[in-house]
Amino acid sequence: MSRLGTPDNPLYVAVVGSGPSGFYAVDALIKAGVEFRVNMFERLPVPYGLVRSGVAPDHPKLKQAIKVYARLAEAEQFNYIGNVTVGADISVDELRATHHAVILTCGAETDRRLGIPGEDLPGSYTATEFVGWYNGHPDYRDREFDLSHETAVIIGQGNVAADVSRILAKTVDELKHTDIAGHALDVLAESKIRNIYVIGRRGPAQAKFTSKELKEFGVLADCDPVIDADELALNPASEAELENTGNKKIYDLFCGLAGQEPAGRRRCIFTFLKSPREIIGEGRVERLLIEKNTLSGEPFRQSARGSGETFTLDTGIVFRSIGYHGIPMSGVPFDESRGVFSNEQGRVIQDGAVEHGLYTAGWIKRGPTGIIGTNKADSVETVRLLMEDLDSLDTGENRNGVAGCYEILDRRNIRHINFADWKKIDAAEINRGEPAGKPREKYTYVNEMLALLDRA
């Protein structure tokens, strides 16, 4: 038989997940110059992962990354299999049996926990739930967020914390022409929240916001950023960290915000060197017990330690945004401590041995770090390894890619949709957003999406 990856013997690849990492893997396969076919599996009918359901609705430019993915999806080697959950509707082993290689790019789908008492009280939420809800992700469509209290607390100072705070801070007028889900806009319109605390474990020199995100807080219609000037005092190690231009930019922005007189209806209070110790309340969140921290250690490696000094803050709603964590998939070795599939540079490994033909890329490979583009370099690395392994991949006879998968799915009566189906959903969403001046009004229930296709 001719070599794998040639016209007589094309390489069959399954990509699990249709977010950035999945599409960059497809891009890397195209650029690798081999003859291949790829089946991309997505558990929702709709593609694009966190670019659709993570990127904030008021950041439309970032979402234009989708244009690149839509173009890749037109490649003749590409096939989209939506509404199919790998690990439930079809197993990883079945994908491995029907393809030469499987690349898992299913992201980090849950939040890290604080590990403090009261974390599961009603009124204590994860950033993931809230972000998924306002972005119309079907998993979070029916979540209810009680925004009737005056004070909300966000734990964490990274880009997701910034998104959650900003969405709470914005007026309906600032959001109504975005692709925010209609159900979320209705609830946000009734929000009574006036104080939004954004709590960081470490200091202003270590906050993980980008300068661009921070600047957005300076131009809100009815909310003012507030920082207590005393909180901007730095220890010598933090002073040293300002040599890094990125940290310095953020710190200078914080300094510029400090001491400004708030004029708007809402305030977004950035506060540092504090950790939540307990979420307290009778049947629901009523207040938060907070401990003040001190920093110790070398510059850029400082860690926060509790000082023993505590205080309480009355609040009705707490969001934790301290990082994501992957969830295991049946048939794939999982590194519980890191929340990723066990792997070396993208080759999945089990007890130190390579799982032939099984690869991973993106957040579920390296952990939830970096931004959209970071995943491109990551997927390129994984596909480079796949190409190195090309001659050692199992080329057993029954590897027939899409036909084999469809046969399995059809036997189980699993409804699967293709990219042309998605384009119908896409067009309908854009269409129904138009009257309200929105770029789209997303469908937020899977059965709505499928019903639309039945009518089309």
Partner 1 sequence: MTTIVTDNCKDCRYTDCVAVCPVECFHYDDQMLYIDPEVCIDCSACLPECPVEAIYEEDDLPEDKFEWIEINAEKSKELPVITDTMDPLPGADERKAALGF
Q: DSSP H helical segments within 149-294, as ranges?
A: 159-169, 172-175, 182-189, 211-216, 236-241, 245-257
Nearer to partner 1, 61 or 301 (CB): 61
Do the Cβ atoms of 125 and 113 come closer than 8 Å? no
Place of tokens 């960081």: 200
Question: Cα 383 vs. chain centroid, distance in angstroms?
Answer: 22
**Of 128 and 375, which has the nearer Cβ to partner 1?**
375
Q: How far is the CB of 375 from partner 1 (least distance, A)?
A: 8
Choose between 40 and 409: whose C-beta lies nearer to partner 1: 40
Pairing verdict, β 110-111 and 151-155: unpaired
126 versus 178: smaller Cβ distance to partner 1 = 178
Q: Phi/psi at 39 (nearest 5 deg)?
A: -110, 120
Q: Catalog residues that contact partner 1 under the rule CB under 8 A.
A: 20, 24, 31, 61-65, 67-68, 210-212, 215, 245-246, 249, 370-377, 380
Phi first, then psi, for residue 95 (nearest 5°) are -65, -40
To partner 1, the closest distance from the beta carbon of 174 in angstroms equals 17
Judge whether 56 and 165 are in contact, CB under 8 Å: no
Pairwise CA distance, residues 44 & 431, whole Å: 21
Classify strands 317-320 and 124-126 as parallel, antiparallel or unpaired: parallel
Report the C-alpha gap between 298 and 303 in whole angstroms.
9
Q: Which is nearer to partner 1, 122 or 373 (CB)?
A: 373
CB of 371 to partner 1, least distance (A): 5
Question: CB of 332: closest distance to partner 1 in angstroms?
Answer: 26
Name the residue nearer to partner 1 (CB basis): 245 or 337. Answer: 245
> Whose Cβ is closer to partner 1: residue 29's or residue 92's?
29
Do the Cβ atoms of 49 and 18 come closer than 8 Å? Answer: yes
* Closest approach of partner 1 to the CB of residue 131, in Å: 18
Minimum distance from residue 106 beta carbon to partner 1 (Å): 19
Q: Which residue, 215 or 292, is less far from partner 1 as judged by CB?
A: 215
Contacts of 361 (CB under 8 A, 6+ apart): 21, 22, 24, 25, 103, 104, 105, 346, 375, 378, 379, 381, 382, 383
Q: In whole angstroms, how close is the CB of 447 to partner 1 at the nearest point?
A: 32
Helix (H, G, I), strand (E, B) or coil at 307: strand
234, containing H or E segment: none
Give the nearest distance from C-beta 63 to partner 1 in angstroms.
Answer: 8
CB of 169 to partner 1, least distance (A): 20
Determine contact, residues 51/66, Cβ cutoff 8 Å: yes
Which CB, 28 or 199, lies closer to partner 1? 28
Dist CA 410 CA 397 (whole Å): 21
Cβ-based neighbour number of residue 316 at 10 Å = 21
